[in-house]
Amino acid sequence: MSSSGDEHKDYEGFAVLQHDTVCYIQDEAAIPKGWILLDNQSTVDMFSNEKLMTIISDAKRSLVLFWNAGKAIVTKKVDLKRYGTVWFHAEGIANILCLMCRKVTK
């Protein structure tokens, strides 16, 4: 490690990887917008970072989403490259892939 610390000047937070668990601590209570979380408790794939998307379009039906911040009506879907279509909510706090939402085929 450099004694000057210049190589880490843009680093904001603390991350630990231990036994396949990631712990991340930063000054603000937020999940980094570039992270994609794999969630085994989610019932839908939901993204909030449009920089990860290829096409944003209106959904044929809306999704009523209940979460820790209340209730949201989601009306957009997006194409996630090499994955497929996911719901899009710009005010969301995370990009979430539901582990149970996709069937794995061989």
pLDDT tens string 34-85: 888 888 888 889 999 988 888 899 999 999 988 777 888 999 999 888 888 9
91 φ, ψ (degrees, to nearest 5): -90, 5
Which residue reads 């820790």 in tokens?
68
Q: Is the pLDDT of residue 90 over 50?
A: yes
C-alpha span between 16 and 58 (Å, rounded) = 39
C-alpha span between 81 and 55 (Å, rounded) = 9
**Which pTM value belongs to this model?**
0.66
